[in-house]
Amino acid sequence: MPASKSISNRMLLISQLAKGQISLRNISDCDDTRAMEEALGERARVESESETETESEKSQISNDKIIDIGAAGTAMRFLTAYFATTPGEVVITGTERMRHRPIGVLVDALRRLGADIDYEGEQGFPPLRIRGTQLEGGSISMAGSVSSQYVSALLMVAPTMRNGLTLTLEGEIISRPYIDMTTSLMRRFGITVEEPDDRTFRVLPGEYTGGEYLIENDWSAASYWYEMLALADDGEIVLEGLFADSLQGDSCVQQLFEPLGISTEFNKKGAVLRKFESSRDNGQSSILNSQSIYEADLSHCPDLAQTMVATCCGMGVPFHFSGLQTLHIKETDRLLALQQELGKLGYEVEEENGSVLKSGARSEKETNRISSDSKCIDTYSDHRMAMCMAPLAMLHEGLVIKDAQVVSKSYPTFWEDIEKFKS
């Protein structure tokens, strides 16, 4: 299994703030993490060169500095906060899609803390020109319903602020496990993070301490193997390097797949997935034997939504998944993309209120029920579209995934692993 890019990107930034005193093991080898590494490495190089340059030469280096993070959304959010609190001037940009992914909530928050950030193009969107400096910090509030990455970005750089940061989240808080992951890692490396209530974070000024850290493997990537086993007639899969006491919110995939007939146990290697009989009395597993609709709020784990929708479609299980409002602003509009691509395979998926995907009719699994012309799946430059649709090839012979290399964003060896599974 690939290493967790969520943990990898957080630890790369924390390690940078700890002045390289943290030794990281099992760093994710994917596009998003490489974007973080390259941007942070380039910043270190410029700072090193600047030590021997004249003031005019320093200005020239600074003014010409462009950081292109490609399609890495996590890197855009984390690095915006990092560059805003680090002396120097950069322009941070990305792909065409990235330049249409909103970042105004984070920029507004940083500006209220004293950051000097300008939009180079459309207001509220990258590219950004950032003139970094030490921020005063203080107390601010922001919406918790837009992106947990905004919250994590602010929290991780908060110890560098003169007065630290008290951050209060307003309204619904989405993807809370990712925020908890961030605060856990910060505490692990010496930062005081207080939580006087469930929506307030108080970070005291301080310095990250050194040490070593082993990054666990990726539960988000594991979800596609849960999907494959759920669509198979029988089987067992061992996924190495996954922890039962994971920091990752997407480890809840274990519980989400229980009603679909997949059990999870752990041994010294990792997670052991088994398919059990649908008649087995295992809590919610009765959904396979009844006319019940599978209902779940996925607001804490939106990256699992595509996997869950594709799996239920393939199994003929009616569903109602809510908490999906952030899927519009991901690598693509995932709500629309799922409807379009699953529709090619004959599955009807409806959107409701911009935050719900549902399918009400229970149907039996069918294969080869459509023409081969409709079996070319578009991925919209979205790694998760490619990976969630691929297992449906078990039901639809001749399925073609276009732009297949897009999986390199998070799981570069996905297709090679599929080949091993097939053999």
Q: Which of 320, 305, 219 is nearest to 264 (CA)?
A: 219
> In this structure, are residues 185 and 247 in contact, taking their beta carbons and an 8 Å threshold?
yes
Q: For 284-302, give the DSSP string.
A: GGGGGTSS--EEEE-TT-G
- Please give the biggest Cα pair distance in the chain: 75
Q: Which of 396, 239, 419, 28 is nearest to 257 (CA)?
A: 239
Q: Which of 421, 399, 22 is nearest to 209 (CA)?
A: 22
Catalytic residue among 303, 333, 378, 382: 303
Distance separating alpha carbons of residues 235 and 229, to the nearest angstrom: 7
Tokens of 210: 């050194």
Give the three-state DSSP class for 98. Answer: helix
155 phi and psi, to 5 degrees? Answer: -65, -45
Distance separating alpha carbons of residues 133 and 88, to the nearest angstrom: 7
> In this structure, are residues 398 and 372 in contact, taking their beta carbons and an 8 Å threshold?
yes
Peptide bond into 127 cis (omega under 30): yes
Distance separating alpha carbons of residues 329 and 327, to the nearest angstrom: 5
Mark out the alpha helices in 299-344 (DSSP H runs). Answer: 305-315, 334-344
How many residues are recorded in the chain? Answer: 423
Distance separating alpha carbons of residues 387 and 401, to the nearest angstrom: 9
> In this structure, are residues 414 and 387 in contact, taking their beta carbons and an 8 Å threshold?
yes
Distance of CA 52 to the CA centre of its chain: 39
Distance separating alpha carbons of residues 12 and 8, to the nearest angstrom: 6
Active site residue 198: no
Tokens of 114: 């004293």
> In this structure, are residues 88 and 49 in contact, taking their beta carbons and an 8 Å threshold?
no
Q: Catalytic site residues?
A: 303
